[in-house]
Structure 1
């Protein structure tokens, strides 16, 4: 069986999930990897066969998406060419982690073997916690950015039958958890300078800030700035007092699994993160609508308060991969049987 694993690189969560799932897939089938997008600061730990520019949202420096830079990067001609040239017809199965090129290519070429395997797919379920008001434009983007009819989702809880709990890196599962005195912060949509103006006011508290804008480790007062990467971030996370991050999916999931105090700030104009914030709030996680000087008092109270939410997410990685493959084989077998029956039965012999 030939499988194409397609992953987009807007944010690091997709990359982290792909690292864990691809190594299991490679033990069961022949796997090629496709990646599109430009906004991940982590490198995939597997060889990539196809690289596309794709369709990326550019993070800003004051808590949201930079729509001007996003529009400047958008090239519709390149996008159409990439969709047209994407070799989805060479593969038996396409596993898609919210990757638009392979999804649209499969749609236009009428390939029915493209299945979602992403956090975003879970957000289409009616059973997950949601805001009372639904933004129709952002909901439309969520549904058609990477369109697939079938799929498997990930969320903080098993809200629906095809929703699994988060994939946690083996490194975090196997290491000792310590409770240090620093706060680990990962807020890629804020500049280093902006974060310094906020966290420096909490001068009695040490922070480890991981930033895509930091190229070399340095320290300013009570704040140590680090480039984003695997090892140092994992070490900081395992030994921290608490975590401050956007309400994406991977970092909050890791903090909850490790039993770390968690505070999340949804990225502005990011529909997915606002939906995640609703779910996290219901679980008892502290949510701030924005990060500014008015937030300092709230952060200080959060640091002093015992506010732990812990979930013992089981390692279901092999189970997830096996379910995807078994479902595909069953569907293929059923289609073959159905076609054989159709060919066997003569329409003239059918009794009406």
Structure 2
């Protein structure tokens, strides 16, 4: 069997998920990967056969999206050309993790596909949304990477086709400890937006992962790390808690490990707002705007005695069997 797997690189989570799935997919056939977008900072250590600039996200300095930069970097003609060139009819199965180029290619070439991943869960209206829905956000969920079949991943099974999150083997097999540091991963925030708040709590040790850091170094109570999967896993497994955005993979892993979470969803990022709504229902504190009192918010969070529901890890062989069975390919 030949398998085409499209990975959206608007963040590191999609790449992390594809990396975990790859050895399991290989048991079903030969896998070629397509990477679309330019936001990911993780190495793509997979057999990458096709690539497109696709659509990428750009951030403002302190926790928001830069829509001007996003819009001006969209090249419709190039996207159309890239979609036309993808030889999808050479594959038995097309798996699309929320990539618009692959969705367009399937439409142009009249090829069947399955949307697989977190965003697929939002095709169900049962999946949590914020109190105020975004018409544009809902439009994107429906039209950005549509497929005739959907297999979603989320914190809980909000619908019959939604499965538990893909958790990396390193996390599943870990023995978590509390070495009393706080892991920080907030790619939409520049260093200067948060550094002052962290320094105002000298008794708390922070492990801060930043795209702009080239070498690990410590200044005061903050150790600055480059974005590195192995070091991040170690920090997360041994932390007291994590401060992160409103993404999916990192909160899923933290919940699986039983770690405290403080979520700061990216402003005007509807998917992250939806994830934050789901996390709030699970008892996770959510901060929507970082202000001068952020250090007090962190201290209050650390003093909270909250028991979070533990998230299950996906049974990957079972989920892939379900995927291939519903695709009508054995």
**TM bucket, shorter chain:** over 0.9
**Which residue is equivalent to 2:92?**
92
SS of aligned partner of 1:292: coil
TM-score normalised to the size of structure 2?
Answer: 0.96
**Which residue is equivalent to 2:258?**
259
**Which residue is equivalent to 2:283?**
284
Q: CA deviation at 1:142?
A: 2.0
**Which residue is equivalent to 1:342?**
none
SS of aligned partner of 2:123: coil
Count of residues in Structure 1 that have an aligned counterpart in Structure 2 = 330
Contact 2:35 2:50 in 1 (8 A): yes
**Which residue is equivalent to 1:193?**
192
Q: Distance in 2 between matches of 1:304 and 1:53?
A: 44
Contact 1:258 1:310 in 2 (8 A): no
Q: CA deviation at 1:3?
A: 1.2
**Which residue is equivalent to 2:101?**
101
**Which residue is equivalent to 1:233?**
232
Q: Distance in 2 between matches of 1:154 and 1:199?
A: 33
Q: CA deviation at 1:315?
A: 4.0
1:215 aligns with 2:214: yes
Q: CA deviation at 1:89?
A: 1.7
SS of aligned partner of 2:328: helix
CA-to-aligned-CA distance 1:176-214 (integer Å, 9 cap, x gap): 211111100100000112221221122221100111121
Q: CA deviation at 1:59?
A: 2.7
CA-to-aligned-CA distance 1:6-52 (integer Å, 9 cap, x gap): 11111111011111112111111121111111001112231100011
1:202 aligns with 2:201: yes
What is the RMSD of the two structures over their aligned residues, measured on CA atoms?
1.4
Q: Distance in 2 between matches of 1:314 and 1:217?
A: 30
Matches within 5 A, 1:81-160: 81-111=81-111, 113-160=112-159
Matches within 5 A, 1:20-39: 20-39=20-39
Q: Distance in 2 between matches of 1:227 and 1:72?
A: 28
Q: CA deviation at 1:75?
A: 1.8
Deviating more after overlay: 127-136 vs 116-125: 127-136
1:178 aligns with 2:177: yes
Deviating more after overlay: 292-301 vs 20-29: 292-301
Structure 2, unaligned stretches of length 5 or more? none
Q: Distance in 2 between matches of 1:85 and 1:15?
A: 23
1:2 aligns with 2:32: no
Structure 1, unaligned stretches of length 5 or more? 333-352
Q: CA deviation at 1:221?
A: 1.8
- For the pair shown, the structure with the greater C-alpha radius of gyration is 1
Q: Distance in 1 between matches of 2:46 and 2:91?
A: 18
Q: Distance in 1 between matches of 2:58 and 2:311?
A: 33
Q: CA deviation at 1:312?
A: 4.6
- Runs of 4+ displaced beyond 3 Å: none
SS of aligned partner of 1:123: helix
Contact 1:265 1:288 in 2 (8 A): yes
**Which residue is equivalent to 1:55?**
55
SS of aligned partner of 1:329: coil
Q: Distance in 2 between matches of 1:313 and 1:299?
A: 27
